[in-house]
Amino acid sequence: MASNPRKGHRYRELCREVRNMGAPCALCGGPIRYDITGPEAGKHPDAFTLDHVVPLSLGGELLDITNARAAHRRCNSARGNRVAPARRDTSRRWYRR
C-alpha cells in the first residue's frame, strides 16, 4: 500500500516553514489565524493551511517550498483546482456548502 506523503515528515517540515513566515492568505490577502493550532485548526475556516500554487492534481510538487504558500482553510477549499489565485471582492459573500 502506498504511504500518504501528506503525513510524512518532510511535509510537516514544509508546513512549519510556511507557517513560520506568518504571511497573509495568498488567496484573499486577509490575516490568517496562526494562533489556532491542534485539532481546532482542522475545522476553523480562518486557520492556516498549506496551499499549493500548482495544485497537486495538476502535477504540482507536494514538497517544494516554491510551490507552497499560506492560505485560509476556507479559501484553500473554495479554490479547488484552479491554478490562478482567485482574489475575490471582499464585499462578496462566500456561499456555504
Using CB under 5 A, list all residues that contact Zn ion: 25, 27-28, 30, 72, 75
Which CB sits closer to Zn ion, 68 or 75? Answer: 75
Which CB sits closer to Zn ion, 8 or 24? Answer: 24
Which CB sits closer to Zn ion, 60 or 88? Answer: 88
* Minimum distance of Zn ion from residue 30's CB (angstroms): 5
* Minimum distance of Zn ion from residue 76's CB (angstroms): 8
Residue 4, C-beta contacts closer than 8 angstroms, at least 6 positions apart: none
- Helices assigned H by DSSP within 2-95: 9-21, 73-79
Return d(Cα 17, Cα 23) in angstroms, integer: 11
* Minimum distance of Zn ion from residue 29's CB (angstroms): 7
Amino acid letter for position 69: R
